[in-house]
Chain A
């Protein structure tokens, strides 16, 4: 077991990812959807994974689960350790044993992730009987408890209902109950509220938060919505074009982002308390073609702080303070020696 990093006071991480790469071989070339990401997660900790579509955050989530593994046109390298076991060295059979008791996932679309022809109860009792070996009767009792816990009224009756009889929010609660059924140590929530209405989104996020606290579950919350991550996670990893560009404690990140991308992303969301018609800080351009990413910093073509160095050399993810790191040659609001002062040119493109 890994003894090198774990300090005596802290529990060893339940999830440890070192230099993870997920590559897809496509007709247009090799796409590095996840390109050298490392992170670790302790019991009870919540990690936010933020990025735009194409940033690789969902692929990362699925690779963590072991749902994406080497085979066919996909390659995974690096290590993912769940409870000390390297997921990608396990056989398919052994990996399946992890799903449920060790790690579970909540998906974006609660309609398509439930089988429309099977009642709610079956979705819940199947994993209980398979993984925990419960009897039919005990599994049913447990299912009722679970539905009750995720806030579904009249759980006993719901067991007989089919997915289409429930609203989107209720279906997502069922999905959470299914994920929790084997009491996992790690929960990966991939855009769990994107398909839901605004008033329901908050309730689902609150539910996930309270469940994680109560069960000391390590949670990875994947979202494109900064608002969903703010105030609900302990740490955030900001991803851009397959790479982690900044990791920081959540409050620190939102207070003072170091990476220009993180800063621009936070600035591009309209604030509720800003007056109407405020010009938003949009990020120019579009994310890079992942089959042919730019040399150097991948954000450089869109960055208003980019200099020649950025276009030549890929910045590494380096610590700026304990628990914070950023992959940028010229980070925002960090006092580094010999960083030339760049005027905050908002949206204007560099003319030089």
Chain B
């Protein structure tokens, strides 16, 4: 991604020394603000503002220092996002061997406190839910189910959607019409109805859920692939390939697919977050993984019960924040990857 030179201020370019001094000043100011905020000397409302503002200042300061020293922009966000994903996926894989609290056996937590607030520095860093289950353990075990289902569903959607979409966009005419009718029909059925129907037909297994959810993504993917295929089919390199004697299959796979796939991947990332939540509604309908076995979706749904949301907002906020951070990180990574590998993005 192109980021402007931070030393370029109001039409003049700062010298390195000036830039470094400004960076250092920002860094110190930021650290002081964060420290003040954490110590809680001031009124409660001011603290979060101080912490956030301080972090921003620290980031800006480090950024300027790095630029002054090495002429490279600091991509802190990218680092944080990668770290988060590595941590999350690592924890999910290693969950059984990690020293975590109880995540689903309600009988084992009968004596544990319920609705314990997070950050109380006890055995339950993220608190406990209404059944006394450890929220941190639930988030990590939930990641296993949620991420697997979402990734599988999106992959099915990508593969099927790009194949159908490229065929529709390349052949046009009757093929396109027929495929159009099917995708539009699929889009016209309200997702909830579709899922209820599937819930009655399929067993609640991870694989089945992935297939059911992929049905929601396929029409969008088909449309996207089709639109891009039509756009790229009109580019002269497709004509040139045909003039060289390339077969239709070769053109679709070798010429069109590499160009159609990148925007679909960006779309897939966005769709994934929707799927994690949609998986929760599947659980609700009895198709998904049943509570108390955790998924991020059914953890979010727990907040719906009675007055949980108003009395214990963290029940929603913990899985919500984890979901938000994950989707944001994947998005950011996808965006950066696209900029890195997109040949056109490389040009100024």
A contacts B: CB pair < 8 Å: yes
Name B22-67 residues within 8 Å CB distance of A: none
Query: Is B4 in contact with A25, judged by CB distance below 8 angstroms?
Result: yes
Task: Give chain A residues whose Cβ lies under 8 Å from the Cβ of B4.
Answer: 25, 72-73
Closest beta carbon of chain B to A73's beta carbon, Å: 5
Q: Closest chain A residue to B10 by CB distance?
A: A70
Query: Is A73 in contact with B8, judged by CB distance below 8 angstroms?
Result: yes
Task: Give chain A residues whose Cβ lies under 8 Å from the Cβ of B8.
Answer: 25, 73
Task: Give chain B residues whose Cβ lies under 8 Å from the Cβ of A71.
Answer: 11
Q: Closest chain A residue to B348 by CB distance?
A: A26
Bound-complex Cα distance A73 to B8 (A): 8
A75 within 8 A of B: yes
Closest beta carbon of chain A to B173's beta carbon, Å: 26
Question: B-facing mask of A61-76, CB < 8 A → 1, else 0?
Answer: 0000000001111010
B112 within 8 A of A: no
Query: Is A75 in contact with B2, judged by CB distance below 8 angstroms?
Result: no
Bound-complex Cα distance A7 to B283 (A): 88
Closest beta carbon of chain A to B348's beta carbon, Å: 4
Closest beta carbon of chain B to A56's beta carbon, Å: 15
Query: Is B11 in contact with A28, judged by CB distance below 8 angstroms?
Result: no
Task: Give chain A residues whose Cβ lies under 8 Å from the Cβ of B11.
Answer: 70-71, 75
Of B2, B4, B8, B348, the most chain A CB neighbours within 10 A belong to B348
Closest beta carbon of chain B to A86's beta carbon, Å: 15
Closest beta carbon of chain A to B208's beta carbon, Å: 47
B5 within 8 A of A: yes
Task: Give chain B residues whose Cβ lies under 8 Å from the Cβ of A70.
Answer: 11
Name A66-103 residues within 8 Å CB distance of B: 70-73, 75
A272 within 8 A of B: no
Question: B-facing mask of A16-49, CB < 8 A → 1, else 0?
Answer: 0000000011111001000000000000000000
Q: Closest chain A residue to B3 by CB distance?
A: A27
For chain A, the bracket of interface size reads 10 to 19
Closest beta carbon of chain B to A48's beta carbon, Å: 28
Bound-complex Cα distance A26 to B346 (A): 11
Q: Closest chain B residue to A76 by CB distance?
A: B11
Closest beta carbon of chain A to B327's beta carbon, Å: 28
Closest beta carbon of chain A to B189's beta carbon, Å: 34
Bound-complex Cα distance A75 to B2 (A): 17
Q: Closest chain B residue to A69 by CB distance?
A: B11
Task: Give chain A residues whose Cβ lies under 8 Å from the Cβ of B3.
Answer: 27
Task: Give chain B residues whose Cβ lies under 8 Å from the Cβ of A72.
Answer: 4
Closest beta carbon of chain A to B152's beta carbon, Å: 37
Q: Closest chain B residue to A26 by CB distance?
A: B348
Bound-complex Cα distance A71 to B11 (A): 7
Task: Give chain A residues whose Cβ lies under 8 Å from the Cβ of B5.
Answer: 25, 73
Task: Give chain B residues whose Cβ lies under 8 Å from the Cβ of A25.
Answer: 4-5, 8
Bound-complex Cα distance A31 to B8 (A): 14
Bound-complex Cα distance A116 to B4 (A): 34
Closest beta carbon of chain B to A70's beta carbon, Å: 5
Q: Closest chain B residue to A27 by CB distance?
A: B2
Q: Closest chain B residue to A31 by CB distance?
A: B348
Name A144-167 residues within 8 Å CB distance of B: none
Bound-complex Cα distance A25 to B73 (A): 14
Q: Closest chain B residue to A77 by CB distance?
A: B11
Bound-complex Cα distance A173 to B4 (A): 40
Task: Give chain A residues whose Cβ lies under 8 Å from the Cβ of B2.
Answer: 26-27
Q: Closest chain A residue to B4 by CB distance?
A: A73
Closest beta carbon of chain A to B264's beta carbon, Å: 26
Closest beta carbon of chain A to B71's beta carbon, Å: 10
Closest beta carbon of chain A to B164's beta carbon, Å: 33
Chain B residues within 8 Å of A, Cβ to Cβ = 2-5, 8, 11, 348
What are 18 of the A-B contact pairs (CB < 8 Å)?
A24-B348, A25-B4, A25-B5, A25-B8, A26-B2, A26-B348, A27-B2, A27-B3, A27-B348, A28-B348, A31-B348, A70-B11, A71-B11, A72-B4, A73-B4, A73-B5, A73-B8, A75-B11
By Cβ-Cβ distance, the 7 closest A-B pairs, closest first, are A26-B348, A27-B2, A70-B11, A73-B4, A25-B5, A75-B11, A25-B8
**What would 6 more interface pairs be, CB under 8 Å, given A26-B348, A72-B4?**
A24-B348, A25-B4, A26-B2, A27-B2, A28-B348, A73-B8
